Amino acid sequence: MPLEWSGLSPELLLVVDRDSGEPLRTQLELRLRDAVRTGRLRVGERLPSSRELARMLGVSRGLVQECYAQLQAEGYLVTRVGSATRVAAGAAPPPATAPAAATPSRLLADFTWGVPDLSGFPLADWLWATREAARAMPKSALGYGDPRGSAELREVLAGYLRRVRAAAADPERIVICAGYAQGLGLALRALAGAGVRTVAYEDPGSPATVSSAASWAGVSAVPVPVDEFGIDVRALAATDARAVVVTPAHQWPTGVVLAPERRLALIEWARSRDAVIVEDDYDAEFRYDRGPVGALQGLAADRVISLGTVSKSLAPALRIGWMVCPAALTGAVVEQKRLSDRGSPTLDQLALATLVESGRFDRHLRRMRATYAARRSALVAALAEHAPGVGVTGLAAGFHAVARLAGPADERAVVAAARARSVGLYGMSACRTSPAPGPVRLVLGFGNVGERAVTAGIAAVGDLLEGR
């Protein structure tokens, strides 16, 4: 399909040299032929009107009309009465195309992790919030502004985080970022500037994400084991790390909550080591079987950088996150943000502030909690029916579960066999830095899988999960 430029007449860059001695008409014909031959102008594309092209080049309209007529006679252009002049079929070489990739077969169920219900995005509310924000936005908001982000959003987020996460949130110490990955990178670069040379992270956890951010910041990354109580603080203390990335409210991917004594021990480690804790508060909005666990940052605001986003609560494509920083590090983080991109898009920030302040964000979260709770129940029921020997953990929050396979199994073989049955399964090995002994564990994401698909998918691979 040719590009169909809107407007009365599309612009076209052509240059003629009045000092060359070559006739202008000859130059114009040559430039247009080259544009068609090289594919710069594609078949079916509309050219400027003769009047408009003459105005752009500062030549007579008759000269352009004569040029168009000559190229039409040569088969480069086609003109119809009442229609624009366009590139003729067959005049330009076909565009180079990459070999067609194999179309992936549609899966019966895809238990990929980390993806919320994309169909549940509150589009009507977001459009309403965007319109309201744009209507009320002062003209000054269209400038570069504060690299920390919109003052309105930071004020709203501070109130929200104090109310919902028991965080010690001050708008002056909040920095808006483009999601978790950028926030982590900015945090580690600021810490590197403060003398940190090694950052620790949970194992299992997010080794690829942390390692990439650490490499960008110029620091090394070391894994620290996680057990049923959360990160092993004694093992952490045995490293030379002066920063650690943790998911205390709902450990990724095991789902365990950092035990109270471990929380206190981790804060004590940070104070005794002059270290900083980077808290990934990634899915705290979705809890089911127990009350919410407050943010670690609320216990030690001077030692914790807390990262949050709307990637799980709304949609990853919004690319909106925030960092609640210690006072001593706020300036360094803001400078890294300024150097990185000078600030996040303002209108989206104002829309999010409007959405939260209006109560529509809370309403959306209540609706999604019910949706995810129903899918979680469907997953538990399907496993109980079709793979009763499989242990399931990590279901107290979020929208993923950990399945411990019954009997001896090979993770890759199970995943491949499930894919052959049109079911997407994903092993925990991708979350580890080294293989772990014991039964194979799969991470079953159900955020973007409907209840019927959950049931059908588990029914299709139940025997694989049990090793039958």
pLDDT tens for 27-70 read 999 999 999 999 899 888 889 989 999 999 999 999 999 999 99
Question: Domain for residue 415, yes or no?
Answer: yes
5 part of a folded domain: no
Note every long-range contact of 155-163, with CB atoms under 8 Å and residues 24 or more positions apart, other chains counting: 155/353, 156/352, 156/353, 156/356, 156/357, 157/322, 157/353, 157/356, 160/356, 161/295, 161/306, 161/308, 161/324
CATH number for position 384: 3.90.1150.10
Note whether 410 and 349 are same-domain residues: no
Place of tokens 């808290």: 279
Average pLDDT, the chain: 92
Average pLDDT (332-360) is: 97
More confident call, 9 vs 329: 329
Report whether pLDDT(13) > 80: yes
Average pLDDT over residues 161-169: 94
DSSP result, 370-396: HHHHHHHHHHHHHHHHH-TT-EEE--S
**Is position 4 within any domain?**
no
32 shares its domain with 160: no
Q: Which of 361, 343, 341 is nearest to 351 (CA)?
A: 361
Q: Are residues 403 and 271 in the same domain?
A: no
Residue 100 lies in a domain: no
Segment 132-145 mean pLDDT: 94
Do 342 and 378 have their domain in common? no
**Is 3 part of a structural domain of the chain?**
no
Residues 6 or more apart whose CB falls under 8 angstroms from that of 15 comprise: 31
**Amino acid at the residue 459:** A
Range of the domain at 51: 24-87
Are both 126 and 267 inside the same structural domain? yes
Dihedral, 381, 422, 312, 265 alpha carbons, nearest 10 = 70
Q: Rounded to an integer, what distance in angstroms lies between the CA atom of residue 6 and that of residue 128?
A: 27
**Residue 13 belongs to some domain of the structure:** no
Q: Quick check: 96 pLDDT over 80? A: no
Residue 84 reports pLDDT greater than 70: yes
Of 341, 358, 375, the position where a domain reaches its end is 358
CATH number of residue 170's parent domain: 3.40.640.10
Give the per-residue pLDDT at 239.
97
Regarding whether 428 and 461 lie in a shared domain, the answer is yes
Helix ranges, 177-259 (H): 179-193, 207-217, 233-237
CATH number for position 59: 1.10.10.10
Give me the helix-helix angle, 123-136 and 360-386, nearest 10°. 160
Of 249, 248, 245, the C-alpha closest to 212 is: 245
Residues 308 and 160 in one domain: yes
- Domain final residue pick, 358, 389, 404: 358
Give the pLDDT confidence score for residue 104 in this predicted structure. Answer: 59
In a domain, 2, yes or no: no
Where does a domain end: 328, 358, 388? Answer: 358
Strands 400-404, 441-445: pairing is antiparallel
Do 238 and 136 share a structural domain? Answer: yes
Q: Which helix (H) or strand (E) holds 444?
A: strand 441-445
- Number of structural domains (the chain) is 3
Instruction: Please name the helix (run of DSSP H) or strand (run of DSSP E) that holds residue 442, with its range, or none.
Output: strand 441-445
402 closest CA partner among 251, 272, 187: 251
Residue 443 lies in a domain: yes
Q: Do 284 and 212 fall within a single domain?
A: yes
Reported as a single tens digit per residue, the pLDDT across 235-270 is 999 999 999 999 999 899 999 999 999 999 999 999
The fraction of the chain above a pLDDT of 90, given in percent, is 79
Sign, CA dihedral 36-40-42-45, equals negative
Q: Which of 290, 214, 211 lies closest to 249, judged by CA?
A: 290
**pTM across the whole model:** 0.88
Same domain, 384 and 458: yes
Tell me the pLDDT band of 80, cut-offs 50, 70 and 90: confident
pLDDT tens for residues 423-461?
Answer: 999 999 999 998 877 789 999 999 999 999 999 999 999
302 and 387 fall within a common domain: no
The answer on 353 and 412 residing in a single domain is no
Tell me what pLDDT residue 79 has. Answer: 83
What pLDDT, in 10s, does the model give residues 216-228? 999 999 999 999 9
